Amino acid sequence: MSNFFEHQDRAQSRTGWLVFLFVIGVLGVTVSITLLTAVFMPNAIPAAIVVSFLIIGIPFAFKLLTMSSSGALVAESLGGIRINPASQDVNERKILNVVEEMAIASGMPIPPVFILDEDCINAFAAGKTPQDAVIGVSRGALESLTRDELQGVMAHEFSHIFHGDMRINMRAIAAIFGLMAIGYVGYFILRSTMFGPRTRKTDGKAVAGIAIFGIGLIVIGCIGTFFGRLMQAAISRQREFLADASAVQYTRNPAGIGGALRKISAQASGIMHHAEASQFNHMLFSQGINTLFASHPPLAERIKRIEAIAGGVLPESSISKPTQDDPQSNDSRGKTDGRMNPIAGNLVASFAAVGSVPARNLARVQAEYSVCDKSLISAAHDPNGALAIVLAMTLSQDQTKAAVQRKIIATKMPEIEMAVNHLEQTVRKLDTQERLAFVDVACATLVFGSADVYKIFRATLSESVRSDGSISLFEWVVMQILRMRVELPMAIRGGFVAPVHNANISQVAASARRALGVIAIFGSDDAEEAKIGFQSAMKIAGLEAANMPSKEECTLDLLAKDMDQLETLRPSAAGIFIKAALSCVAADQTTTDREYLLLRALSERLSIPLPPTQ
């Protein structure tokens, strides 16, 4: 359990080695430029030092700001094109299903998938947090790998997401870009002297001097490149072994990731040809460029370690040719004859699995997909269908109230009225976690949809759920999920600055007290048990003993405002707070839908990927 929170905390500060190499690189480049300037322009040495810092610092800051804002920018920098969630291409559908299943099984938002027009077998994960992660995968990987092998590669990338590696990678991209900028400046100067306009009055010696100065900068740029490559090697190699082992843990299938690595080794097909690939080499599944310092461990060593986990040589089936079967009906997905009732599972076990893809969950999600109504899956991947699913999910069980809601939908969004009516009976057959899973899938579709259409939808949804003067717990939880998985990403793309997660529980004590009170009151019908659970939770949260809030204080609307404060908690503090909330749930030794829904909303707002109960 604590690993996820420790990794996320460490990702905010685990940059010591990165900073050391960056500083050494900056000093090396600056000293070299100073010496070069001393030869050509001795009087300009102070200016040269300042210019050196600016040439490195400005590109570094620019790259850090731009790349840190969105993982999608990394994918687009490599020529990636986002795969339409509704795509029916066999290979694209295969990767979308694999990523979707893993995200649902782990409780994290479903990351968009970008396809790179590269023949090699490679992939990456990019972003700052699990909430804004994206997956990139080469066309060669889609065409060459079986579903099991692709699942192994994706499990490897999900490990990078959960272990906080993406944040380090994004900072490294900026540092490497800054160090290599001197070489680009030298190239520009040299090119200008060779191809720039000239007149009879042009001083040939001056031009030659400038050209030599440009060549000198290019040579100095090699120093920056040297430290950039060294930086990539330093931060990547050991993390790849950890991600490989995690992939086996998540999938329980060493042959999957092992087969993918074997194919890369056999075909020597990890090398990418995009001009920007060198900047992102350290974050790829396998080494993407040929360089002096290997950014990844040798493929043979990675395969050897996976074989050790498997207990011997990997089975040959791991490198079989991919089939053209419909990915949704693949026999390897572990079909079952009936549905499971996951809400009866153990929330404590789910919390212990935070920051991973529980293999049991993954198998269950795959089984559920294989027997699920295909019209629901299709609707969740379609922009209008996704809107209709969320509205259908929030229709009241009371037919009189539902009739009022349908009328509101027909008035506000007549274009999806029929779809809502068609889906209503189907969604009523789903249990709580299945319904939320489809809301999650719908969010992944809506987040890249029209902002104007979404505003109309959001207003329609708000009016619909409050049409009877109140809001149910399930409806409220859906609102929280939409806020975090659709509205916040849309706002960030529009320039909104995301909340900073650096607070301790003591700094938001009042909000923490009320949130724990809501969970205690909603989770137990016995007042004494609720008080016991509340006091236990306060102690675990490290807060002073206090009276439990009254029922009048514990409304969902007030809790939503408290969550605005709680979502600023640093990852480790958020983990402690969720653990405290779980003690409320465990007080009466039972787990109800209400308790799960509250914990799901709380974990959503705290950016904690809480896996479904097992």
Q: pTM score > 0.85 for this model?
A: no
> Is there a single domain that holds both residue 34 and residue 94?
yes
What is the domain range of residue 562?
Answer: 505-605
CA–CA distance, 52 with 25 (Å, rounded to integer): 12
Q: Is the pLDDT of residue 22 over 80?
A: no
Which helix (H) or strand (E) element contains residue 115? strand 113-116
Among 168, 14, 136, CA closest to 72:
136
CA–CA distance, 598 with 593 (Å, rounded to integer): 9
> Last residue of some domain: 328, 357, 382?
328
Inside any domain, residue 398: yes
Query: CB under 8 Å to 282, separation ≥6 — which residues?
Result: 169, 172, 231, 232, 233, 235, 236, 295
230 alpha-carbon distance from chain centroid = 26
> Last residue of some domain: 296, 312, 328?
328
Inside any domain, residue 463: yes
Name the least confident of 82-96, 190-204, 503-517: 190-204
> Is there a single domain that holds both residue 147 and residue 293?
yes
Q: 157 an active-site residue?
A: yes
Greatest mean pLDDT among 105-119, 341-355, 366-380 lies in 105-119
Inside any domain, residue 305: yes
> Is there a single domain that holds both residue 560 and residue 517?
yes
Surface-to-core class of residue 43, CB atoms within 10 Å of its CB (0-12 exposed, 13-18 middle, 19+ buried): exposed
CB 297 within 8 Å of CB 123: no
Among 19, 59, 182, 76, CA closest to 448:
76
Distances in Å between the alpha carbon of 99 and those of 108, 115, 362?
11, 13, 11
> Is there a single domain that holds both residue 180 and residue 235?
yes
CA–CA distance, 559 with 182 (Å, rounded to integer): 52
> Is there a single domain that holds both residue 487 and residue 509?
no
Can you give 79-100 as a three-state secondary structure string? CCEECCCCCCCHHHHHHHHHHH
Inside any domain, residue 347: no
> Is there a single domain that holds both residue 145 and residue 92?
yes
Domain count, the chain: 3
Angle between helix 556-566 and 473-482 (nearest 10) = 30
> Is there a single domain that holds both residue 158 and residue 178?
yes
Q: In the chain, count of helices (H) and strands (E)?
A: 26, 4
Size of the chain, expressed as the number of residues it contains: 614
> Is there a single domain that holds both residue 190 and residue 294?
yes
Token pair belonging to 376: 């629901």
CA–CA distance, 167 with 524 (Å, rounded to integer): 40
CB 136 within 8 Å of CB 126: yes
Residue 382 pLDDT grade (very low, low, confident, very high; cuts 50, 70, 90)? very high
CA–CA distance, 32 with 34 (Å, rounded to integer): 5
Name the least confident of 111-125, 187-201, 282-296: 187-201
Query: CB under 8 Å to 436, separation ≥6 — which residues?
Result: 477, 478, 481, 600
Name the least confident of 23-27, 80-84, 262-266: 23-27
> Is there a single domain that holds both residue 252 and residue 379?
no
Q: How many CA atoms lie within 13 A of 607 on its CB side?
A: 29
Can you give 484-523 as a three-state secondary structure string? HHHHHHHHHHCCCCCCCCCECHHHHHHHHHHHHHHHHHHH
> Is there a single domain that holds both residue 428 and residue 521?
no
> Is there a single domain that holds both residue 142 and residue 93?
yes
Average pLDDT over residues 172-190: 80
Summarised one tens digit per residue, pLDDT across range 107-136 is: 999 999 999 999 999 999 998 888 889 999
Q: Residue 2, Cβ neighbours under 10 Å: how many?
A: 14
> Is there a single domain that holds both residue 191 and residue 129?
yes
SS3 281: helix
Can you give 7-38 as a three-state secondary structure string? HHHHHHHCCHHHHHHHHHHHHHHHHHHHHHHH
Which residue out of 100, 101, 149, 157 is catalytically annotated? 157
Average pLDDT over residues 475-481: 95
Inside any domain, residue 334: no
> Last residue of some domain: 328, 347, 363?
328
Inside any domain, residue 611: no
